[in-house]
Structure 1
Amino acid sequence: MLSRGFRQLPRSAAVLMVWAAATLLSLLVLRLGAQDTGQTVWAPARPTWMEHASFWDSGWYERIVREGYPTQLPTGTDGTVQQNAWAFMPLLPLLASALSWTGWSFYACATAVSLAASAGAALVMDRWLAPHVGKRASLWAVALFWCSPCAVVLQLPYAESLGLLLVAVALWLAERGRFLAATPAVIGAAFARPLGVPLTAALGLWWLWEVARSRRGRRERLRLLGLTAVAAASALAWPAIAWAVTGRADAYTATETSWRGGELTPLLPWLTRSQWWVGGHLGWLLLIGVAVLAVLALSAPALRQVGEPAWLWCVAYTLYLLVFFDPTTSVFRLLLPLAPVAWALAAHTPPRVRAALLAVGLVGQVFWVSWVWDGYSAVTWVP
């Protein structure tokens, strides 16, 4: 992978070459899978590239561009809020709309935004984490992450690549002490994906860590605390906007929980879903196993060595999922923000293990595209 000619390339070019190779490989998997895809509610059998990109939640973003957000929440006969556009943040449709002058369809514009954000995320993650793990390991990490099972979403009209880019920019700049410059990225992340709460938690944990260690000066710690406050305000902004537009204080949370068919109950969905996955008697054992795996992974020295901001981001985001998330099959896609784990793995595994991890990721991607995105399975999987 690192021939002499390759090593002589400018760093950005080398990163983009690895990113492009992984992204093209994901596109190949996606297009081959399309040939076995039957008729769906989104497209006829054997969908074209753009038809394939319109699957699942991509249609919600297109609907936002076409109709905007509802001023009155749709409700069922029992008064419960039904699924609607308020669950989807506005940054992706806004940026896709900015490309409408090209004459492309929404899906083409949104795909272009996702691809640009994905490439940007690869560059920023490398600039941020390569000093911690080394340049060679960082290139391996780019390959591992962009060949991971759900990585194809990073080139589709979903906001995952935007969220990843903005969180990486925010934490990279903050780690360098550029807290003011990180502010737009912190705000943008909260309007790309529901990342404001975990980002607030990560910055808050980092501030506590710095206070306890007394490594940074008082002024820098105050600036970090200020950035944490900005993140908290950004996390509350979208629910507040939904309240102002619809007149319902719970407009956002009621919309989010409409997908799970219940109220927002922290932690409880993990217990009920674990029973759904393996049965009532084994559910609690599965939950304990997941918790143990999370603790072991987050406390691993390899993850801590990628730097406090990256480590504490992984801690905060995992806690956020455990507290608020309803662990459906979408959990695999929602693990993508834990990208620093790829850098930790690349830095502390020999080349043969890295190659094995790369192969495992690609095999997982084949199954994810086939079983989840294309629905080519007897089990109903949702991306």
Structure 2
Amino acid sequence: MPEPKAVPLLRAIALRPGSAAHSLTISLRYAAPALLGYIAVRLTGLAILMISASVTGKDGMRRLTGRWDSVWYQRIAEHGYGYEVRLPDGTLHSDLAFFPLLPALERGLSVLFPPLGVAGAGLLISWLASLAAACGIFAVGARIYGRRAGTLLAVLWGAYPTAFVQSMAYTETLFTALAAWALYAVLTDRWITAGVLCVGAGLTRPVAAALIAAIGVTAMWRLVTERGGGEPLRRHWRMAVGVCLAPLGWLSYIVFVAVWEGNPFAYFDIQADWNNRIDGGAALAVFVAEQFGRSVLAGLGLCAAFALLLWVVWLCVRQRPRQPLPVIVYCVMVVVISLIGSGYFGSRPRLMMPAFPLLLPAAVALASARRRALPAVIVGVAALASGVYGAFNLLGSGPP
């Protein structure tokens, strides 16, 4: 069976010259199936949550805005940095562990529209960012493997097991939107745009290090291969500017925390206080061993889950036609960063959610399916399962 033909999003725009608004209309029309499919999947998840909350007598909307990390972001938006909590075991949790872009946007939007409040502003930003992320994910998928694969990629991301976080006042959707469009900018040689978007991603989540690495490695590979072909390096000044811009957001916040605390390693010390330190996967190995001590089946289940993850990463690396270098570097780095930290095990699937290229093998396979109804059936089952899992987590007591 022939490989699906890639159709770049900007090519569709270029076919209809005209005003910026007209070009935007064309691009949205091109992405409409992906966007509508994504919205349908997320509305399914929200409906399951609200029905479950009503049955159990709980406030579903409150679970989206007033728990866990979202409360920390709202406090920063209202009062700025400087809040600390000392736990009964003596450990200190500082709000400096949280990057500033989301609370800054929450504060700005709540000032412009006071009835929203900070909590409502955070939820609105997250929902709008989720739509931007779905469009960016579609753009990357369509650029590489065609429109149908791009559509399925965006919809599958909306049915990710921890996709309920995409409906919360969290940073995952904002970061993924910036990362997806930055990758698309690299794929279309818009390096300065990629660098600017990476600055925003670096002010949103620490995992922006994966995006910085993707941009830097791709630029280095481009220089090596094109210099070997006799291309003059001066032609790549835009690429150089983009690479230099990329780490500035992440670095600026690390420096800000260092100056605030008077310690060059303050940010990493604060993360360690939150039990988020790089340990090479030692904490993860201990957790898996503990599960074997409690139940052999639980331990085997975890091992099977990790084997599945590694298999999917291998599929991404070996996929034909190959995933472009920036996409695969970004994907692998997000997975690695999510696994080598010592943080709470239950958060790791959420931390891997921005690695949307993990879904590319499934999206391409479904796009090539002979039975046209098969993708709809699989997406529908995945959306229902994701919604049930999300309601169970949000209405329970454990952090996502």
- TM class, shorter-length: 0.7 to 0.9
One of 212, 224, 247 as aligned partner of 1:232: 247
One of 160, 173, 181 as aligned partner of 2:193: 181
One of 100, 104, 107 as aligned partner of 1:90: 100
Alignment length (residue pairs): 361
Contact kept, 8 Å, 2:44 with 2:387, in 1: the verdict is no
2:260 partner SS: helix
Between the aligned partners of 1:27 and 1:91, the Cα distance in structure 2 is 25
2:279 partner SS: coil
Matches within 5 A, 1:113-262: 113-211=125-223, 213-214=225-226, 217=231, 218-219=233-234, 223-224=238-239, 227-260=242-275
Q: CA 1:106–1:24 in structure 2 vs 1: closer, same or farther (change >3 Å)?
A: same
Contact kept, 8 Å, 2:292 with 2:299, in 1: the verdict is no
Give the C-alpha shift of residue 224 in structure 1: 4.2
Q: CA 1:230–1:274 in structure 2 vs 1: closer, same or farther (change >3 Å)?
A: farther
Q: CA 1:76–1:366 in structure 2 vs 1: closer, same or farther (change >3 Å)?
A: closer
Equivalent residue number for residue 284 of structure 2: 270
Which amino acid in structure 1 is aligned with residue 33 of structure 2? A
Equivalent residue number for residue 338 of structure 1: 355
Equivalent residue number for residue 40 of structure 1: none
Q: CA 1:332–1:288 in structure 2 vs 1: closer, same or farther (change >3 Å)?
A: closer
Between the aligned partners of 2:209 and 2:226, the Cα distance in structure 1 is 25
Contact kept, 8 Å, 1:302 with 1:345, in 2: the verdict is no
Give the C-alpha shift of residue 318 in structure 1: 1.5
Give the C-alpha shift of residue 220 in structure 1: 6.2
One of 372, 375, 378 as aligned partner of 2:393: 372
Equivalent residue number for residue 379 of structure 2: 358
Identity %: 24
Between the aligned partners of 1:147 and 1:358, the Cα distance in structure 2 is 7
Q: CA 1:233–1:274 in structure 2 vs 1: closer, same or farther (change >3 Å)?
A: farther
Deviations 1:122-167 (A, max 9, x none): 1122222202111122222222111222222112100111000111
Give the C-alpha shift of residue 289 in structure 1: 5.8
Q: Is 1:18 equivalent to 2:37 in the alignment?
A: yes
Q: Is 1:67 equivalent to 2:76 in the alignment?
A: no
Q: CA 1:287–1:366 in structure 2 vs 1: closer, same or farther (change >3 Å)?
A: closer
TM-score normalized with structure 2 length? 0.79
Q: Which runs of 5+ in 2 are unaligned?
A: 1-27
Deviations 1:98-132 (A, max 9, x none): 11121212121111111111111111222222021
Give the C-alpha shift of residue 184 in structure 1: 1.6
Deviations 1:297-346 (A, max 9, x none): 22323386342221221112122223335351111211211112223311
